[in-house]
Structure 1
Amino acid sequence: MDPIVRVVASVLVQAMSTDAWQRVQSAMVSLWRRASPEQANTIEAELAEARAEVLASRDARDEAAEADLVAMWQVRILRLLETEPALADELRQVLNDALAALPPDERARFNPTIRAEASGHGRVYQAGGNLHITEHGREGSAVGNTPPGPPLGDDDDEW
């Protein structure tokens, strides 16, 4: 799934409990009106229902309910983009506007700061997604500093 879809769905659900909600809802319904006008009123009603669910889940401290809503809106937004791929740039703008409208503490969830420090021979590996590390080396050398295969320029030595 396109990362923008995941983030937009998360920000959409997050915005449902903030003062930014009216603006975000209006922008999302506007996107649907352009891509699928016959669904726009239904989407508007479903967004209102989802907001009521978010507010209730916040009161009940039910994080699973919010996660379910995020998953549901991911599918809806993905289908919207499949119907009208040209809306991707506008969707990014809605995302940027929604993020800007969120309170700073809630906005920080979507713009994490990661800091790491290594010393000596330590290493730090960081990624915002999957990370695969393959290191090759031989005894006595710093791992990762020796290319795989036989020693360079030493064809007679056994490996």
Structure 2
Amino acid sequence: MEPEFAALASSAGSTVVTLMATDAWRHTREGITALWRRVHPERAEAVAAELDATREDLLAACAAGDLEAERELTAEWQGRIRRFLVSRPEIAEELRSLLDDLEPPAATSSTVTQHASASGRARVYQAGRDQHIVER
């Protein structure tokens, strides 16, 4: 079961740290804290404070362009969550459910229609995603 927990912890740690810098942060914090509160109520407030401190560190690292700090913070939470799962394996399904709830819905395929017109020496550039234009 340990490899399964390692994979789940890796996904959870990455998701938690990634969402720290988004609008989904409050929901993420509440979900993780609720899991800890259910299993280790005496540690829940400390975990909430650690999540807040990690978020502050992450935002400062992002502002400074420090990608290594983000990787370190992710690794910290991956390890913390793995140890949590090892100590209480029954919480794995609840964690999976929380992660499913936190993930944005999968993009549905849609049709994009673009129309453009140009006259004279004008140029039109359209793209559905990334576009790189090199003019010489």
The normalised TM-score by structure 1 is 0.61
- The whole-number CA distance in structure 2 between the counterparts of 1:75 and 1:11 is 13
Alignment counterpart, residue 19 of structure 2, candidates 11, 15, 18: 15
Aligned to 1:5: 9
- The whole-number CA distance in structure 2 between the counterparts of 1:7 and 1:66 is 15
Alignment counterpart, residue 55 of structure 2, candidates 33, 51, 54: 51
Larger fraction in helix: 2
Alignment counterpart, residue 65 of structure 1, candidates 47, 66, 69: 69
- The whole-number CA distance in structure 2 between the counterparts of 1:35 and 1:82 is 12
Q: CA deviation at 1:100?
A: 1.9
Q: Provide the identity percentage.
A: 38
- The whole-number CA distance in structure 2 between the counterparts of 1:30 and 1:20 is 16
Aligned to 1:88: 92
Output aligned runs, 1:1-159, within 5 Å: 1=3, 2-100=6-104
Which protein has the larger Cα radius of gyration, Structure 1 or Structure 2?
1
- The whole-number CA distance in structure 2 between the counterparts of 1:95 and 1:53 is 22
- Please list every run of at least 4 consecutive aligned residues from structure 1 whose deviation after the TM superposition is greater than 2 angstroms: none
Write the letter of the residue equivalent to 2:39. A
Higher relative contact order (CA 8 A, sep 6+): 2
- Let me know the Cα RMSD of the aligned residues: 1.4
- The whole-number CA distance in structure 2 between the counterparts of 1:67 and 1:57 is 10
Conserved 8 A contact 1:9-1:77: yes
- Cα deviation, 1:36-66, whole Å, max 9, x if unaligned, reads 1111010000000000011111111111001
- Equivalent pairs, count: 102
Write the letter of the residue equivalent to 1:77. I
Aligned to 2:123: none
Conserved 8 A contact 1:35-1:80: no
- The whole-number CA distance in structure 1 between the counterparts of 2:34 and 2:87 is 15
1:19 is paired with a residue whose SS is coil
1:100 is paired with a residue whose SS is coil
Q: Unmatched 5+ residue regions in structure 2?
A: 108-136
Q: CA deviation at 1:69?
A: 0.6
Q: Unmatched 5+ residue regions in structure 1?
A: 105-159
